[in-house]
Structures are given as C-alpha cells and as structure tokens.
A and B are shown apart, each in its own frame.
Chain A
Amino acid sequence: MTAKTENKEKRIGLFVCHCGVNIAGVVDVEKVAQVLTDSPGVTFSTDYVYMCSDPGQQMIIDTIKEKHLDGIVVAACSPTLHEKTFREAARLAGLNPYQIEIANIREQDSWVHTDKEKATKKAVKIVKSHVAKARQNENLDPIRVDVTRRALVIGGGVSGLQAALDIADQGCEVVLVERSPSIGGKMIQLSETFPTLDCSQCILTPKMVEVSRHPRIKLLTCHEVDSISGFVGNFKVRIKKKPRYVDETLCNLCAECEKVCPQVVPDEFNMGLSFRKAIYMPFPQAIPGTYTLDAEHCLGLNPVRCGKCKDVCDKKAIDYDMKEKIVEEEVGAVVVATGYDLYTMQALGEYGGEKYEDVVNGLEFERILSASGPTGGVMRRPSDGKVPKSIVFVQCSGSRDTEKHLPYCSKICCMYTAKHAMMYRHRVPDGQATVFYIDVRTGGKSFDEFYMRAVEEDKVLYIRGKVSKIFKEGDKLIVWGVDTLTGKKVEVEADMVVLAMAIVKADGVQNLVKKLKISTDIHGFLAEAHPKLRPVESLNAGFYLAGCAHGPKDIPETVAQASAAAAKVGDLFAQKELLHEPTIVPVNDELCSGCGICVTMCPYAARTLDPARGVVVVKEILCEGCGACAAACPSGAAQQRNQTDDQIFSMLRAMLRE
C-alpha cells in the first residue's frame, strides 16, 4: 500500500554527520551542508558530530516535527549500519520510515580517498543524488499477509517424525505425508545405532507411536505430494492418496490374508534378502498397523484374478475397488524431510557391480544383523547361508571420488563400518574383520572412543588403502587392496564384503523439488539459505529442510536439525501476520501491454499474466524487489517502488552534471 504524495515540493531535511573525524577529517562536512542549503526540495540543512547518537537522533525527531519535514537525508556511514536506526527515529516522529535516505560518504568516500577537495566534491554529488531521490520517495507500508498456522511435513523418517512432533507440541497442526505404507524411514531398518549401540527400533518406535496418537498430527501414509501453490504462510497442497486396498481402520492384523496369498515378492524392507507376499505388512511395528496390498505384484485386481485374501478376511477390510484420491490441505509452512538412498553398486564395476550376492551394502548388512531380519540376527552370508569367517569392510565406496563417482564424504560410513565390524566380531568371535579406509572420521560425541573400542577390544583390523578390485574365485571373494602405511599390495580372501556405499539423494526427490520450486545443489541435496548461518531454511520462503535430504548426516544431527526446522516454523507461526518489504515492483495497468516479458524474468514466480484483462498481475508477498523485471519492461509499466526509472534518472543528473 502506498500513499501518493501530492504534487507539491517536498520538505527535506539534510543531516550531514562528522562521525568524529572519520568523515570530517577528509570531507568538509560543513561545506556540504552549506552547499545543499539552497537545493530544490531542501528545507533544512545542518551538520552534526555523531548523528547515530541519542542527541543526534533526537535532533532528527525534533526537526521533523518543528519544520514539518516529509523527507530526510542522512549523509553518514553505510546504510547497512544505521538505516534501521534512522528509520525508527523517523517513525517515532510520525514520518513514514521509507522517506529516509542514507548517503554513504564514509565507507565509499572519506575512508577511501585522500584528496580533501575531491572527496568533498564527491560527497556533495552523493548527497545531491539522495536528495533527488528523496524528492520522489513515496510513503510505503510493509505488505501484510495472514499466516495459516498449520505445517506440512514431507517424509516419515526420523527427521520428519521429530519435526512433526516438535511443531505439534508447539500447539500447531501438522500434516505428515509419507509415500510408503509405514513411517519409520531408514532408521527403522537399522539394527543398532552408534555410538550407544541402542536398538534402533526400540528408540524409534516410541516416536512413531507418539506421532500416530498425537491429536494435532494428521498422519497420511501411502500419500504423495501432487502439487503445491501459494506462498509462505498461505500454501495450498494437493496430496495424492494411493490406494492401499485395505481399510486401515478395520484391519486387525490377523495375517490370514498373507497365508493364502500365492504371490511371492522380494521384501524391500529386508533389502531383497527375503520374501514377502503381495499383501503384506512392511515390518511388525509398522504404523499405521495394517496390511497393504501391493497392486503391482498382485495377480490382478481389475479384473480380479485371485481374490483369496478378500475371502479370508473376517473384518471385510479388503476392498479391491479403492481408487486414487486427492486430498487438499492448507498450510503455512513446509518441512522437507525426504531422507536419502544409497549409491547403486552397479556403478562400481570394479567391485563386481551387483554380480556377487555376498558383496552387500550397509543397509543389507543391517538387516542381516537385525534380530527381526532375514536370518533372525544370525550372521550368515546371502549366497549359501554359511557363517562368514572373514568379512572385508570397504569404506568410501563411491564417496570422496572426484574422478568417476561422488566427490563428497558421506559422513556416517566410518562410524557405521566400525559398528558393523564390532557387531560381526561379537557374533563370530573367531571371525576376521578387516576394514579398508582412507581416513577414519569420528568427530561426534563419544565417536572416537567407539572406534577405538572396535580396534582395541574387538580387534578389527584397519588397513589404510583403497580397494581396487573385488572378484569371486570359487567359494571366496578376493579383495585387492593396498596398505599405504607399509607400501605393499594386499590381497584378502573373504567370505563376505560389506561396501559402505555413498549416501545419495532419495529416489524421486527431483520431481518433488520441481513441484515445490525449491533448489537443490548439484548432487540433488536440498540447498540451504546460507551454509553457515541459515542451515535449516530454503531460500524460498516457507520451506524448511531437515535430515539427510539436506545432506549426509547421522541420527543425532538429524534430530537436532529437525527440531531446528520446527523452531524456525515456530518463528513463522509466532508472527501475528507476515510483514514483507514494500520496495517491490508493481504493475501500472494503464501502461502494461501484456507482453509477459516480466513474467519470464521473475525467479520467484511472483508475476502472472491475467488472460482476461491482458495485463500482468503481481503477487506482492512473493516479490523480493530485485528489479530484474523493471529493467526488462519495454513500456515502463513495471517500476520499483522508491527506485523508479525517474528517480534513477534524477539521481544520475544530480551526480554527473557539473
């Protein structure tokens, strides 16, 4: 909202600061104030020692009131320092804060030039330009929007669960969307977690239950985000419900359907190391506690080819006619917690690609270790069920490789490899565990002590060197590596190999970020607003990041980040209304020809072409005021508030004409 000033001359007050000797030592400040006294628009002109001091500010307030000023120019230090200070002073005097101009005659004049005469001349030009601008400044008010105090959390792993719980505990409603049939993510697949060797499922399931029972959390599993529109504080999300074919409110987990189902499918929860039926429960503690029918592997639903599961279901929970549905939700903030995947072994041809059954990745090994896994927690190798007497662990498989694979470090592998080696040694005391490493990175709390335990107590052999080749010869896997500390080549005969595969972006996240219009880095991990100072927000207002979707990290960090994201959401929701800088670029309907060039220029999708009226419309809350569209507009319909083309031309005249 702008208040147009009437077409009468402005009454501008000029205050030139000495800043002690910082400015006055080089620039003749009294002369500057004096030269500008007779400039058009200048009603009052003075100089003062320290404008930012209390008396300095009071002088501004008093002068505004006494002289009925409607514009201020303070010639002083960089606006980055005190623009807010002087705006506040003006506001206290009853003047619109956007009528304040700061002329930088310190950092960009007195501090970088030595010739006093030239520095003073330059200061006069700078001040004149800001006076010229001030003469055309309009009163502006921040743009205000309501905030919908509900959050959307995408992803039901530990990061999504934590964020959802924290936001819900703040008193706000949360919609938690998870595309698979159960929450739990990757953490629920783990056996023990470092550095405590806690049972992963034991510490996660309470959180899962809490989420399912929380009065303010709406849990939507088998759902996927279909599209999102709107802007921060005011999003409209369309969520697609994929048919489960089982009514979760009726299913009582009797498991009769599973017994009669003829279709056997590799079990993805056990990483393909065992089988499940087409109608299945992902794992015993799945939430929601219900069976799900995997239509892709079912013999056929349309027409029904089998129907056995429905026949035996006492509760009549199975419904083959379920269809896809769209659910619409309104939220004010979105937390993206979509997790990660592991780099494919196919990419590592030198390790056999995916050819060798006994070469497994970290998650497969977790399932073998797990008491609820395919071997009941007994250490056996996949190919023949033999108990492996020698396991080689290869760190950095695909990570830290600038030539062919991924250049970054996957952060958690050193710790989980130590954990795997320890767990193996505990179960097979006469087994040999060998770890090939480049470095061992154990920076977290109690992490190094954990690794030392593996080396000293559990006698895990650590060899510093990369593995060049893994191949099968007869019953054994031959691992070729090198021991860089002795300089010798090493050949190890192993029964099994565990590769610490690199952490990569979650499958399908590319499509999701396109829908959300948030950015990722070149590896597909979500981009934070600032790598150090703003690690849990996206540059796109209203979107927050948590967990491995943002980059490889362990569980303690994930939980911390999820809570941080929830806190940021809390910041947003704590606002009565959202205030947005008004120095945006509106459209003058009368001049707009509807060419649409500005629409293509906007990185925030703030502008759209209204087909009915043939002019462009701006969503002010989305406009960040960069001005790219203003420069591109051929008809001058797009003008930036308080930096219009007219103002720029006035400033140029003031600066350049002799």
Chain B
Amino acid sequence: MKIHYYPGCTLKQKTTALDISTREAMKRLDIELVEPEGWSCCGAEYPLTEEKIAGLAAPIRVLRQVRDEGGDVLVTTCSFCFAVLKRADKAIKDDPLKHKRINAYLRDDIQINPLTKERTTGFEDYNGEVKVLHLLEFLRDRVGYLKIRERLKRDLKGLAVAPYYGCRVLRPQKEMAVDEPDSPRLFEEFLQAVGCAAVDYPFKQECCGSYLSVSLPAAATEASYRVLRSARMNGAKAVAVTCPLCFYNMDHRQDAIKETFLDFTGLPVVFFTQLLAWALGVEKSMLGLGEHRVPADSLFSEAPATEVRT
C-alpha cells in the first residue's frame, strides 16, 4: 500500500525519532509512505480568528499537492499538523467564502522544481478531495489491529503505558471527529493492540504547557509535571505521546520539573510509533532513542524486566 504522509517540519529537525520510527514501523506493515512533492510548513496553528484566512493557504497547498499526485488520503503523526490540515480542509468544504478566497490565493501559486528549475502553475481549485487522517486513525481503520497483531515480533508483556492525547487530536470535536473527547478509546486500543497495557488516568488530555514553554516556562513546567505525576500515580511506566511539542515539554523539561517539584523522580516519555516499531521487530538503533533527554532505553530491552499493571 502506498500512502501520502506529511511529516511536518519538526519531525525533520528536532524530533526525527517520530519520523524514523514511523517509517520503519510502516515498512514492517508493507506500507510505503510518500511525502508530497515540495511540501512546506503547515503553519502549525489553525488561525484563531475568522478573518485570518491567509493562514489556511499553506495547509491547503499541501493537500492540493497530495490530490494532484493522485492521493485521496494524507496521514500524519504530529498533532499540530493533523489539527491544522484537517481543520483547514473542513473550512474549505464548509465555508464557500473561505473556499473562494483561499483558492484565489493559490491560483497565483508557482512551484519551481529546485533541481530542474521547471515552473508549474495553473493549479486547479482544491475542494476538499483529500481525507486527513492521524496515524492512529489510519492504523485503526485502514490497516486494522488484527493485521498489526499478526505482524508483532516482540511481546511487550503488558507494559503499563499512559496514553497522552494532548489538546489537538480530539478537539474541537465537531471538526476533528476522531473520537469521543471525554471518554476516548483510540489511543488505548492502539496500545492494547501492540501489547501494552493502557493506563487510565485523569490527565490524559490536560495541557502540557504547549508553547508557554518559551514565553512562560514555569507554567509549562507545572502543567507537564501534573500530567506526569498523574500518569505515575496510576501506575504508568512510560507516557506515550503523539506530538513533538508534548515530547519537548514532558521529556526535555523533566530536569526543570525535578528542580521545582521535588517529589518527582522521572518517567520516560516515548512516541507511540516507537512502541509500534519496536513491537513490529525494528532494531533499537532505528528508534531514535538518542533524542530523548530522559533515557527510555530500559523500555526497549529484550530482558523480561517489564511489569504488568492490572
């Protein structure tokens, strides 16, 4: 199966672990990931006011490229990218004014091939032809947990993992339409499918601090601490995330957390794709574990040291 895949900027720079582990895992499932030609940054944040239409041009351009390459589905793992792409696509479909104006912007688009210097122009309007899927959705609906189970090479022995949804994947419910925001099952079912035990804890969707990390680090430190503490209190051995910013706040900031909150002793944070890849038999060296500040190696060892949480 060939599927269009949008990594997003951060996955190519700061958190290549998420990108590499995704690719390796998909290889084991016989899925070839194809990046749309010349893709650009998605904008990272969906415009917060009605008038800020320019912010939709970039994500729509990505989707248009996917369509023009013959794709009708775009898969992504970064929560921010997922939210922007999906909501932009919906905005085009629901609001005729936005549809008109964004396509007017994009009609002037000229793409220059960096190698051949060939100029392409005269693109057709984008009308919402591409379906945007989070990788978790894709795995559940298009691949199927059964197929994943068949391909498992390692037994994770019910490793207690706390799924962290963050703020972007499930809300706003009407636009994202992924799962029931107050009692979701998507991430939990994925963890069970790869052989982990999903930990139920009340902070699975509470804010990690997001980009207050830059402007108000103390707030981000406290927010991430609360998530990690709740996960730990409920028996988690690790927290699984699906967003580079969540990863940054909860992994990179753990030193700051330990300094401020003395009762916190640390908890490894991993990407869900790393668990998937490991379970499917990918070598440890291909998981991108070097990017972690909090060592997560212990989770990915062949030694039967994992505990089971009931």
User: CB-defined interface of B191-218 with A at 8 Å, one 1/0 digit per residue?
Assistant: 0000000001011000000000000000
B251-299 at interface with A (beta carbon < 8 Å): none
Q: Which residues in B have their C-beta under 8 angstroms from that of A471?
A: 202-203
User: CB-defined interface of B171-190 with A at 8 Å, one 1/0 digit per residue?
Assistant: 00100000011110000000
Is B146 on the interface with A (CB-CB < 8 A)? no
Nearest B residue to A349 via CB reads B182
Cα distance A474–B203 in the bound complex, in angstroms: 14
- B181 engages A349 (CB within 8 Å): yes
- Total A-B residue pairs with C-beta atoms closer than 8 Å? 21
Nearest A residue to B203 via CB reads A471
- B202 engages A472 (CB within 8 Å): yes
- B182 engages A350 (CB within 8 Å): yes
- A353 engages B202 (CB within 8 Å): no
Is A54 on the interface with B (CB-CB < 8 A)? no
Q: Which residues in B have their C-beta under 8 angstroms from that of A352?
A: 202
Nearest B residue to A346 via CB reads B183
Is A325 on the interface with B (CB-CB < 8 A)? no
Q: Which of A353, A472, A473, A474 contacts B183 (CB 8 A)?
A: A353
Cα distance A473–B202 in the bound complex, in angstroms: 9
Is B48 on the interface with A (CB-CB < 8 A)? no
Is B233 on the interface with A (CB-CB < 8 A)? yes
User: CB-defined interface of B223-234 with A at 8 Å, one 1/0 digit per residue?
Assistant: 000000010010
Q: Which residues in A have their C-beta under 8 angstroms from that of B173?
A: 404
A347 to chain B: closest CB distance in Å?
8
Q: Which residues in B have their C-beta under 8 angstroms from that of A350?
A: 182
B81 to chain A: closest CB distance in Å?
26
Is A609 on the interface with B (CB-CB < 8 A)? no
Q: Which residues in A have their C-beta under 8 angstroms from that of B202?
A: 352, 469, 471-473, 478
Q: Which of B182, B200, B203, B233 contacts A348 (CB 8 A)?
A: B182
Cα distance A229–B222 in the bound complex, in angstroms: 67
Nearest B residue to A353 via CB reads B183
Interface residues contributed by chain B, number (CB under 8 Å): 10
Q: Which of A349, A355, A473, A478 contacts B180 (CB 8 A)?
A: A349
Nearest A residue to B184 via CB reads A349
Nearest A residue to B181 via CB reads A349
User: CB-defined interface of A210-232 with B at 8 Å, one 1/0 digit per residue?
Assistant: 00000000000000000000000
User: CB-defined interface of A450-483 with B at 8 Å, one 1/0 digit per residue?
Assistant: 0000000000000000000101111000100000
A350 to chain B: closest CB distance in Å?
5
A157 to chain B: closest CB distance in Å?
32
Q: Which residues in B have their C-beta under 8 angstroms from that of A473?
A: 202, 230, 233
Q: Which residues in A have their C-beta under 8 angstroms from that of B180?
A: 349
B44-85 at interface with A (beta carbon < 8 Å): none
Q: Which residues in A have their C-beta under 8 angstroms from that of B181?
A: 349
Cα distance A349–B230 in the bound complex, in angstroms: 17
Cα distance A474–B229 in the bound complex, in angstroms: 12
A499 to chain B: closest CB distance in Å?
14
- B183 engages A349 (CB within 8 Å): yes
B184 to chain A: closest CB distance in Å?
8
Cα distance A473–B201 in the bound complex, in angstroms: 10
Q: Which residues in B have their C-beta under 8 angstroms from that of A353?
A: 182-183
Cα distance A355–B183 in the bound complex, in angstroms: 11
A470 to chain B: closest CB distance in Å?
9
Nearest A residue to B201 via CB reads A471
Nearest A residue to B173 via CB reads A404
Cα distance A346–B182 in the bound complex, in angstroms: 10
Q: Which residues in A have their C-beta under 8 angstroms from that of B183?
A: 346, 349, 353
Task: List 5 A-B pairs, minimum CB-CB distance, nearest first.
Answer: A349-B182, A471-B202, A349-B183, A350-B182, A353-B183
Interface residues of B (CB under 8 A from A): 173, 180-183, 200, 202-203, 230, 233
Beyond A350-B182, A472-B202, list 4 extra A-B contacts (CB 8 Å): A352-B202, A353-B183, A355-B200, A473-B202
Contacts A/B (CB < 8 Å), 21 sampled: A346-B183, A348-B182, A349-B180, A349-B181, A349-B182, A349-B183, A350-B182, A352-B202, A353-B182, A353-B183, A355-B200, A404-B173, A469-B202, A471-B202, A471-B203, A472-B202, A473-B202, A473-B230, A473-B233, A474-B233, A478-B202
